[in-house]
Chains A and B, each alone.
Chain A
Amino acid sequence: MAVKKISIWQKAPQVVLSALLITTAAVPLGCQPRQGAGDTGVKVLDTFRASVYRSLDPPKQFDVASARIISNIYDPLLEYHYLKRPYELVPNLLETLPELGEDKLTYTFKLRKGIKFHDDPCFPDGKGRELNADDVIYTLKRFADVNVNPQSYPALLENRIKGLDEFREKTRQQKDLDYDQENVSGIEKVDSHTFKIVMTEPDPLLLMSFATSPLSIVPKEAVEKYGRKLEHHGVGTGPYILDKNPRKGVMVLKKNPNYHGTYPTEGEPDDQSQGLLEDAGEKLPLIDEIRLPLIEEAQPRMLKFLKGELDSIGIDRDNFSKMAEKVGEKFQLKGEFAGKFNIASANDLTSFYITINFRDKTFGQNKAVRQALAYALDTPTYIEKMDNGRGHALNTIVPLPIAGSEETIPVKWYSHDPTKAKAKLKEAGYPEGKGLPPITILYPSQDKITKQNHEFLRNQLAQSGFQLKGEFLNFSEFLQRKEGGSFQLSNSGWGADYPDAENFYQLFYGPNKAPGPNAGSYQNPEYDRLYEQMRRMSPGAERNTIIEKMALILKEDVPIVFLRAPISVGMRQKWLLNSKPNLMLGSTSKFLDIDTEAKARGLK
């Protein structure tokens, strides 16, 4: 049917287009103020939060996002040296490292004098008072209180300090226990700035617990005033004061002018030439303000970094081949990125591997099958193809930056050899894989990357006669299956709780069998004996000899098959100074510096 034209409709396309333009006309196009720009006299670190934190109350946090902020606001008694590797404990709130008594059980801690908490309304007149031994004792008791901290106590202090487990049991029976009325036999105040801690048995690794963010010192006044609100507030002695804390917006941390720390005066051999000792001895923190917008997606983070609106960023798998490459053992930026930015890389403190369940009939009683699996897997190719080379093919379970890794333990893991893998399968009674039932590997995720990694493993193992099936579970189901022992193989990883080989070798200690960290329930009396000996020793050559024996036992028995130890690669703006990755510090912000003039130029 013919329709009579109406003039308004002839103009309709322009009307629609105009309406769209009106929507955006409110935007002063192309002249947005850049974040980070402004007064060049103020040093601002523009970084980001990749996820929402769970709690800013130290004993209640159990996630990286929280730890990072807590480490800026609060202080633990000890910390790790910013520049030295392998990681080395240094005093933070203490005058010196704690002294071990002749009984090998008692540590004496001496607090530095004059360290003050941030100014806060919880203190009389709002002025932060001086830190003293009572604060540490209160913090330890609160950390042990099961109603405050059901989470991190078992990993950090359980069975380690005399009387503290009993105190924890009391808090389980009585919710509002008055800490002042309850003495813990292993914690003794000597004077206002000195206290002693008595261990249940000699334990050279205990001090590492006092360098973790959950054991940061919290004043009683803050807990009493803020209660649960302390989870979103902060009153510590740390380098920064929490200034703004919106749920999802830009968190702002302001410099604590009374901070006690100074920049280290020594480091590794290359640090001087890299300019990392330019600020040696300077009062910390060096930056006035930290801005932490919540940016959960990789694309906006990268775009903002490229525009100069962020000072540093990690390079993810999707961007890596476009931006960087691996040349020999080093990483470098490519093309336009090479001149504009600095690259930073660091070995992570995590090992990824496949756990073999010793309660499974196919694997548990048949060493040759396990060895066949170790020969069948081409780890260097896996790292190259699936991770752009951002990983290290492990020879022992301990990642490189940790004392007791393969750098001091001369053990070589299996190299990829399908012929030997087939020979081992034949020895195990499965020539060419005949008669070997399909094997199933559990994964704690159903995402695309996990499935791609599985495809690689499946194809590679098929060349040696293994038929691999993947079972992709949600996280809690994965944990339940693993701890219940109902699996054959499982995709696993372990991140260091503290930087010592013991933390990784305990994964194969018999008494730690499932549901403990020894998820494969591997048992070897000789290994257990060596482990018990090693864990009571201080680092050194004698201990390394024992670690080497343990590594050789694991190589022979193959309770796990290594996948990789990741290497993090990131970019830094040229104006960001003193940047050196340190994965044992919750945050390195207090050591960083900004060339404000260069930053202002870069943002123009």
Chain B
Amino acid sequence: MVGYTIRRLLYIIPTILGVAVIIFVLFNVAGEDPVRIALGQHATPQAIADLEAQWGLDQPLWKQFLDFLRQIVTFDYGASYFTGERLGEAFASGALVSLSLTLPPFVLGLVINIVIAMLIAYYRGTWFDRFSTAIAVISMSVSYLVYIIAMQYFLAYELEWFPINGYAPGWDAIPYLALPWLIIIVVSIGPDVRIYRTIFLNEMQANYVRTARAKGVSERGVLFTHILKNAMIPVLTFTIVAVPFLILGMFLMERFFSIPGIGDLMISAINNGDLPVLKGMTMYITITYALFNLITDLLIAAVDPRVKLH
């Protein structure tokens, strides 16, 4: 187990290098030119040269790439070209806020969606199954943006159940976060329930379920003791890989509800060619994604004795 973990950690290095090369080519070589965006139309060649020098973009590409590798090792990607803010500062001020937006509905949604999926799987083949599946498909067909616009309009503006938007620190944030949480949960029901339903149905048809029933295990026992435990392996996989993205918040949700998270960092960095932020965020996603993949594998091995780590 320890050897496997160390090996997998070492495998992350070539992954990071590969991503670094792709990111560098995409943004330093082929992407939007941040200097042109900053200076706008009709910038003089001298002004362009001055700003390139200030941002180190006048250096040869190989040197810029080496600088990037150094930044990865030191976790210091410099300051945003456009706000002067260091990525660490942005994370410090916004990551917890983003997490407060995404984590509660993620956990609650997980519980709710598993319960609904188990219900549907339990009543498989009945009108309830067909009706619920149809609702799930219809709800998946509606754009995320439409949910936000419609629920903000009707629940916050027309019915005045929630503030339209805004944020307050600490526990005072709850009234402002309640509607975004509700939207996140509602949006997640369709896709998640369909996936979990499929997982439960697959498990229900497994041989061990028939054996358990033949041995006289109650339906509740079959469902909770056998099916639920085994179904949790793919559910766990599906869930844990989503965790790194929780800290990134939700771009649209944060914009519509004025929640001061970091969901917009990546989008505005892409739009502006803000290389320090782009590189920092991409590397954060890469590293945490790789780590959580490893955690998923270790957890699956822990809950399923058939899985061997090599």
Contacts and interface: CB of A to CB of B under 8 A. Distances in A.
Interface string A5-29: 0101100110110011001101111
Contacts of A306: 157
A479 B54 contact: no
A20 B185 contact: yes
Contacts of A517: 41-42
Contact of B182 (A15, A24, A295): A24
Interface stretch (A82-90, A297-305, A547-555, A584-592): A297-305
A146 B47 CA distance: 9
Nearest 9 CB-CB pairings of A with B: A248-B260, A150-B50, A476-B33, A476-B36, A231-B84, A27-B178, A150-B51, A300-B165, A517-B42
A517 B82 CA distance: 24
A304 B165 contact: yes
A293 interface: yes
Interface stretch (B60-68, B108-116, B225-233): B108-116
Contacts of B161: 24, 27, 29-30
Contact of A249 (B116, B153, B167, B268): B167
A54 interface: yes
A19 B105 CA distance: 11
Contacts of B45: 515
Nearest to B167: A249
Nearest to A482: B41
A306 B46 CA distance: 48
A228 interface: yes
Contact of A296 (B166, B175, B255): B255
Given A27-B178, A304-B165, A475-B37, A246 B260 contact: yes
B305 interface: no
Interface string B55-85: 0000000000000000000000001001111
Nearest to B260: A248
B47 A300 contact: no
Main secondary structure of the interface of B (DSSP, over half): helix
Interface residues of A, number: 66
Nearest to A294: B258
B108 A303 contact: no
Nearest to A514: B42
A365 interface: no
Given A55-B83, A476-B32, A26 B175 contact: yes
B84 A232 contact: yes
Nearest to B35: A476
Nearest to B165: A300
A247 B93 contact: yes
A16 B165 contact: no
Contacts of B82: 54
B156 interface: yes
A575 interface: no
Interface in B159-188: 159-167, 174-175, 178-179, 181-182, 185
B152 A16 contact: no
Nearest to A6: B220
B149 interface: yes
A62 interface: yes
Interface of A: 3-4, 6, 8-9, 12-13, 15-16, 19-20, 23-24, 26-30, 32, 35, 52-55, 60, 62, 146-147, 150-151, 153-154, 158, 172, 228, 231-232, 246-250, 293-297, 299-300, 303-304, 306-307, 309, 474-477, 479-480, 482-483, 515-517, 519
A303 B166 contact: no
Interface of B: 32-34, 36-47, 50-51, 54, 79, 82-85, 90, 93-94, 104-105, 108, 111-112, 115-116, 119, 122-123, 149, 152-153, 156-157, 159-167, 174-175, 178-179, 181-182, 185, 219-220, 255-258, 260-261, 264, 268, 273
Contacts of A16: 112, 115-116
A12 B178 CA distance: 23
B182 A299 contact: no
Contacts of B112: 16, 19-20
Contacts of A299: 149, 152-153, 256
Nearest to A12: B119
A477 B46 CA distance: 19
A158 B175 CA distance: 53
A483 B161 CA distance: 53
B174 A151 contact: no
A294 B260 CA distance: 9
Contacts of A250: 166
B132 to A, nearest CB: 10
A332 to B, nearest CB: 24
A3 B255 CA distance: 47
A517 B41 CA distance: 8
Contact of B175 (A13, A28, A247, A474): A28
B152 A19 contact: no
Given A151-B39, A516-B42, A15 B152 contact: no
Given A32-B163, A151-B43, 19 more contacts: A23-B185, A24-B161, A29-B162, A30-B160, A32-B162, A35-B166, A55-B84, A153-B47, A158-B44, A246-B260, A247-B94, A249-B167, A293-B166, A297-B256, A299-B256, A303-B152, A475-B32, A476-B33, A515-B42
Contacts of B43: 151, 154
B189 to A, nearest CB: 9
7 contacts: A3-B123, A12-B119, A26-B175, A62-B40, A154-B46, A248-B264, A300-B165
B37 A32 contact: no
B194 to A, nearest CB: 16
Nearest to B218: A4
Given A16-B115, A27-B178, A295-B165, A9 B273 contact: no
Contacts of B108: 19, 23
B258 A27 contact: no
A32 B175 contact: yes
B36 A228 contact: no
A247 B260 contact: yes
A322 B258 CA distance: 25
A105 B167 CA distance: 54
A24 B104 CA distance: 12
Contacts of A146: 50
Nearest to A169: B46
A243 to B, nearest CB: 16
Contact of A228 (B33, B54, B79, B264): B79
B153 to A, nearest CB: 7
B178 A24 contact: yes
A593 to B, nearest CB: 25
B260 A172 contact: no
Given A147-B54, A150-B54, A172-B50, A249 B260 contact: yes
Contact of A248 (B44, B94, B164): B94
Contact of B164 (A6, A19, A29, A300): A300
- Find the residue from B152, B160, B162, B166 having the highest chain A CB count within 10 A: B166
B82 to A, nearest CB: 5
Contact of B122 (A3, A28, A151): A3
A447 to B, nearest CB: 12
A62 B153 contact: no
Given A35-B166, A517-B42, A300 B50 contact: no
Contacts of A479: 36, 41
Contacts of B105: 23
A293 B163 CA distance: 14
Given A32-B162, A297-B256, A480 B181 contact: no
Nearest to A172: B50
Contact of A151 (B33, B38, B149, B153): B38
Contacts of B163: 32
A4 B167 CA distance: 48
- Find the residue from B42, B112, B116 having the highest chain A CB count within 10 A: B42
A490 to B, nearest CB: 11
A417 B44 CA distance: 39
B258 A150 contact: no
Contacts of A515: 42, 45
B188 to A, nearest CB: 12
